[in-house]
Structure 1
């Protein structure tokens, strides 16, 4: 086992959720060796073609990751390991936090071709193409933003990738809607924490109405302009929002979770042209954090 490879304990927890050899075509190459190659590239950020030969052919490793990113396999694996952790009582549902981080995009991440029109009778990969490919342009160059909801144990519950210049507030609801932790014993999946914490960027009426409708208690500070506008309206402005300093102090947990994610070089700097491939890289990093816990 090389440095950064899956341990025997991690492999025992991950192996049952990997795809089996079904359908037409040849048999899958060794899953463990291929996943170790994906983890090596994720940790070091090297080009796919530069993968060491101990992981097999680089194209096999790249194609496996691209396919599993496109068809949602990595997302299903993330939910499966979250379900195991929830069954063992290792998820802190008492407090979740939301935040975002900007990842600088390498120059090789730009210039992806638009998806060609599908020809009749030809099977294509169900890739999740989008016109912007989650790349934003600013004075600093190209960037991508990762929106994250994390639990108290410093592990991500849900992820969303957008262009770097997009705001945080409009993506609070999409991120929370992605929280779905299945229950192995049966029943509806767990979709909401008991309490949510966020910074001033998420202080909007639409977000607060959404949280109240879902009965999620929240600690989000009121922005200064919103507070001034409310006070100027007098009794018509309504009551001030409740705020607990002790709960808000736990918001650093999601920031520490982001730091752990960005310890992987392929997450801290985006090298992939396609948004769904980069989203798969971030999801693999999240899976690794859950396996380590």
Structure 2
């Protein structure tokens, strides 16, 4: 069990996680009770569920915490936005090393099937079946900078402004923190004059394919990084289909997947 926990949560990742997880009260005022399960074991169980795609009830007992404990810890951390803070800490570490490339960022989205719940809707690309959509912006190196979710029938253009605003101020190798890309590439789904003006007002150059004028494939040599990152998110099998009724828990799994992608970049 110890070997599996250390493989899923290496020492470097555990030290970064300890910086963002809120402190917990270990002692019970009334005394007695069982010993509280360790956060590292619970984190390993959460990562196992995220990457394997199993249900919480299928969680193997080898991690130590029972599945209700792991699920309860996941919900508490999700409400405290631990996953978003962990992702930001990883981006700060990468930015301080000069491993974030802001020169040419890209934006895209991907739809997944979903049960009923908030931020779900009929997917026009999946015979109208209920689904959700994951939106993301990546740097030139494919690292996810900003994430969001919406109903599957939400137009991609509606996600551009929230995603750009959602890029956190990230440390730089030299100089102040940065949160705006130098250039943003996008396909025809973002071809609207007001979006072009909005980006220009913020000093962000853009390369957006024009409807009826050019093919989105011409941007493939620059947008392939975001497509690769979308495939990397699919490596988190819990994102193949949305089972969570609460949107915040589905967004939490998206954040876990983004944090794992950034951690692999940090340790390579």
Residue 82 (structure 1) aligned with residue 59 (structure 2): no
Residue 134 (structure 1) aligned with residue 119 (structure 2): yes
Q: Following TM superposition, by how much is the alpha carbon of 1:197 offset from its aligned partner in structure 2, in angstroms?
A: 0.4
Is the partner of 1:283 in helix, strand or coil? helix
Q: Distance in 2 between matches of 1:174 and 1:96?
A: 15
Unaligned runs of 5+ residues in structure 1 are 113-132, 228-240
- Picking from 1, 4, 9, the partner of 1:2 is 4
Q: Is the 8 A contact 1:261 1:282 kept in 2?
A: yes
Match of 1:11 in 2: 14
Larger radius of gyration: 1
Q: Distance in 2 between matches of 1:49 and 1:290?
A: 28
Unaligned runs of 5+ residues in structure 2 are 30-34
Match of 1:38 in 2: 46
Q: Following TM superposition, by how much is the alpha carbon of 1:284 offset from its aligned partner in structure 2, in angstroms?
A: 0.6
Once the two structures are superposed, residues 219-246 of structure 1 have per-residue CA deviations (whole angstroms, 9 ceiling, x without a partner) of 112111xx6xxxxxxxxxxxxx9x9x6x
Residue 69 (structure 1) aligned with residue 71 (structure 2): no
Q: Distance in 1 between matches of 2:89 and 2:26?
A: 23
Match of 2:109 in 1: 100
Q: Distance in 2 between matches of 1:2 and 1:62?
A: 19
Match of 1:29 in 2: 37
Match of 1:52 in 2: 60
Match of 1:215 in 2: 203
In the superposition, relative to structure 1, how do residues 183 and 134 fare at CA in structure 2: closer, same or farther (>3 Å)?
Answer: same
TM-score under structure 2 length normalisation: 0.85
Q: Distance in 1 between matches of 2:141 and 2:202?
A: 23
TM-score under structure 1 length normalisation: 0.78
Is the partner of 2:4 in helix, strand or coil? coil
Within-5 A mapping of 1:1-293:
1-2=3-4, 5-21=8-24, 29-55=37-63, 56-105=65-114, 109-110=115-116, 133-138=118-123, 139-183=127-171, 189-224=177-212, 249-293=221-265
Q: Distance in 2 between matches of 1:135 and 1:188?
A: 39
Q: Distance in 1 between matches of 2:144 and 2:28?
A: 35
Is the partner of 2:111 in helix, strand or coil? strand
Q: Is the 8 A contact 2:98 2:172 kept in 1?
A: no
Higher relative contact order structure (alpha carbons within 8 Å, sequence separation ≥ 6)? 1
Q: Distance in 1 between matches of 2:139 and 2:248?
A: 24
Q: Following TM superposition, by how much is the alpha carbon of 1:23 offset from its aligned partner in structure 2, in angstroms?
A: 9.6
Is the partner of 2:146 in helix, strand or coil? strand
Q: Distance in 2 between matches of 1:276 and 1:25?
A: 29
Once the two structures are superposed, residues 74-95 of structure 1 have per-residue CA deviations (whole angstroms, 9 ceiling, x without a partner) of 1122111111110111111111
